[in-house]
Chain A
Amino acid sequence: MQHRLFRFHIHLFNFRSIVPEELLALFLALFIFIVPVSADTRFETRGLYMQSSEPSATTSYTVSLQYMTPQPVGSLDMLFCIDPIPYMPCVTPPGLDVSNAALTAQTGETGFAILNKSPNHIILTRLPSMIMGGSASSYKLDNIVNPSQANQAFSIRLKSLGSIDGSGSQIDFGSVRGQVQTGTVIETQVPPMLIFCAARVVEDDCIGTDDTYYTDMGTLSAKSTLTAQSQMAVGTNATGGFAITANGSPLAAGTHTIDSPTAPTPSVPGTDQFGINLVANNEPSVGINPQGTWANAVTSPDYGVPNQYKYVSGDVVAYSPNVSLMKKFTVSYILNSSPSLHAGVYTTTITYIASGRF
């Protein structure tokens, strides 16, 4: 036997000679090659102040920045785009117009005048002169028409150049971010809406329910599990989606309470236990899986496992991270009791709250 083991070892040794350990080491090194997350912030001082942030208002912008490179600067290029990244294609923010802009004030590096301007582009020019480091510079531009879309950020891509006409290679660069917002929302589009209903039985689109907002689970017994179910339908056209939380204390009769598991747990008859989930179960047989073709709306992981029940007041039981057409969820309730449970009528009210997301 030992002789055979030696022969096997010799065979392996030959194999190792044709698959060098170095190759294996290289392969492993590639696998564990991890580039750590890193972050850095460029241009500590640059910003934009919009005198008015109302959409489509004619206002003034003050652009502030600090030149970093001690070189002669002859022009400052300002390109207004949705995307702040310099190498990305420039899409003009809808409604923005800087073609009538006027340079009305400047601090720090001064002596600039407007050379060229178009609806989304301004070039400031001066005789090239050396940058004196230290303080920040600012340029106030009047008669700028704000973008019209309040929900979309925009940016000004800035770059300083040695030439007087914005040509040639850049010296410093960076972008400033702006966004128009409004005090009162002008409903130019269909406003976001969140539709929600809950009852023992609801229709898919919430236009009807059975108008029953309670469920009688029957008489408690240590030998069997009481079950019930209710339904809720929800949908939203808001890009942030929705969340539904279940709120309310566990069942109680006076000071006596039936506890709820704080983690998904199987139903155990003979113990004090109240729990819910939002899927079909067979232990005990209760519930229906979520109904609706739209995939965005889902149950929370803890409330989406068949035959596992949980109830913690305030928990999110279902949500969608973005737009979701109407989806119907069926809530399954289970109630177990121990022989020692104090006699009484155990009740609770569970409030399902549907909210937007941020």
Chain B
Amino acid sequence: MKRFKGIVLVVVAMLLGATYLLPALSANAQSSASLSIVPKKNYVIEPGKSVKDTIVIRNLDSVQPLELSLRVVDFTFTDDGGTPKLMLDESAPQTTWSLRPFLTVPQNVSIPPSSSQTLNISVAIPANQGAGSYYSAIIYSSGSGTGAGNVGLSASGATLVFTSIPGKVKEDLSLKKFGAYDIAANGNTSGYMFVTDKEPQSIGYTLQNNGNVTESPVGSIKLRDMFGREQTIDNVNPSGSLALIGQTRTYTTCIKLAPQTVDFNGVKTSANSCTSPGLWPGYYHATLDLFYGQNGNNTQEITGVASFWYLPLWFIIVLAIVILALAFVVWRVVTKIRTALYGPKTKKRLHRR
């Protein structure tokens, strides 16, 4: 009997222990830090109306569940590229283009290993909201980052959400720079080129947005060499990249595209990259023709011209040899003519005063 009581006590103790320990273990359980999200969302919503949409998040980890907390933050531009500067500080002031007051997302989500979950989100625009562009980002923070080390790691994702409210808006793009452009690679910085020994593969143009809406210009570029041969770039903004409010944005486009289809995570994806356009050395002249304008507003046009020299080292060496050879031939001809006309040249005697 005593033995039976002992067994019962042990079992009860184990059950009580499990009751206390299991939640604790659950709270401290590792979360996955492998996720797949939608990088960008675009909406057009009239004042007084709302949109309900879904976002699919996948947990790629085959072992750990993905515990995410969601919040909406504002963002602006980092530089003249398309990288967002997320305003993560809880006390960051709301921007004038913030979508935070209108965007509703769930606060937490738990996704089992190797599964996906569809989240409901909504954007509701008040009836008195003025026309323009509004944007914020949804941050998905994983629960990782805990442990006994000095440096904790946490992986998060962000979806950029853009909403356009139609109506009369202020649109004002101005061209700041235009020309051959060297895209950064392998740690090198990018920038415009006027004289280059490397064959240009991209043309760039920099626009300043002084309006109250984001802009995505379309248009074409004509490139003409010193022999009059022309190449046309018929889509100068193939990704539909945006110039944010107040941003000076640099767009780049390939002179010649190398389209290819790649397999990304099991699906066929079209990927374009720049390839050698086969430019001859020499002087090039480029003309830019851009259009922009929101629905119901005036379509505006920007034109620009630029030029650059493509002078590879081999070309400079060949050119120098040709010039020297020509100079030598001219010198020989002049010498022969002088000799024929005036006889052999006598050396001048130098006198010191």
Contacts and interface: CB of A to CB of B under 8 A. Distances in A.
Interface of A: 3, 6-7, 10, 15, 17-19, 30-31, 33-35, 37-50, 53, 64, 83-85, 88, 151, 153, 155, 174-179, 181-185, 190-200, 202, 205-209, 211-217, 228, 230, 232, 235-243, 245, 247, 251, 279, 295-296, 298-299, 301, 304-305, 314, 316, 319, 321-323, 325-326, 333, 335, 345-358
Contacts of A357: 39, 81-84, 241
Contacts of A33: 283, 307
Contacts of A7: 350
A198 B33 contact: yes
A48 B300 CA distance: 11
B109 interface: no
Given A47-B297, A357-B82, A358-B244, 9 more contacts: A18-B334, A39-B174, A39-B175, A47-B293, A183-B43, A215-B153, A238-B39, A350-B154, A357-B39
Interface string B247-278: 00000100000000010110111111100000
Nearest to B87: A314
Contact of A301 (B52, B175, B187): B187
Given A47-B297, A184-B51, A208 B63 contact: yes
B150 A215 contact: yes
A207 B241 CA distance: 31
A349 B151 contact: yes
B51 A183 contact: yes
A301 B305 CA distance: 30
8 contacts: A30-B283, A37-B177, A48-B293, A184-B53, A228-B151, A240-B241, A321-B252, A353-B158
Nearest to B51: A183
Nearest to B188: A301
A351 B269 contact: no
A85 B303 CA distance: 11
Contacts of A206: 34, 36, 60-61
Contact of B157 (A49, A176, A354, A358): A354
A119 B323 CA distance: 59
Contacts of B232: 88
B152 interface: yes
The 8 closest A-B pairs by CB, nearest first: A356-B39, A214-B147, A304-B187, A355-B158, A214-B149, A197-B34, A349-B152, A198-B155
A353 B83 contact: no
Contacts of B144: 198-199, 213
A249 to B, nearest CB: 12
Contact of B150 (A35, A153, A155, A216): A216
- Point out which of A39, A42, A153, A217 has the most chain B C-beta atoms below 10 A from its C-beta: A39
B298 interface: yes
A181 B45 CA distance: 10
Nearest to A238: B39
B180 to A, nearest CB: 13
B150 A84 contact: no
Contacts of B327: 18-19
A353 B158 CA distance: 7
Nearest to B42: A181
A182 B51 CA distance: 10
A71 B156 CA distance: 62
B256 to A, nearest CB: 15
Contacts of A31: 195, 309
Contacts of B162: 358
Nearest to A349: B152
B38 A40 contact: no
B238 interface: yes
B295 interface: yes
B63 to A, nearest CB: 7
A15 B174 CA distance: 51
Given A212-B147, A214-B148, A353 B139 contact: yes
Contacts of B272: 322-323
A240 B82 contact: yes
Contact of B33 (A205, A213, A321): A213
Contacts of B153: 198-200, 213-215, 230, 349-350, 352
B186 interface: yes
Contact of A83 (B185, B234, B293, B309): B234
B40 interface: yes
Contacts of B177: 37
B187 A298 contact: yes
Nearest to A9: B350
A30 B331 CA distance: 24
Contacts of A213: 30, 33, 144-147, 152-154
Contacts of A346: 150
Interface string B69-97: 00000000010011111101000000000
B308 to A, nearest CB: 10
Interface stretch (B2-10, B11-19, B216-224): B216-224
Nearest to A290: B186
Given A194-B39, A298-B184, A356-B158, A37 B264 contact: no
Contact of A296 (B81, B273, B296): B273
A174 B176 CA distance: 23
Contact of A47 (B39, B175, B298): B298
Contacts of B268: 190
B305 A193 contact: no
B184 A358 contact: no
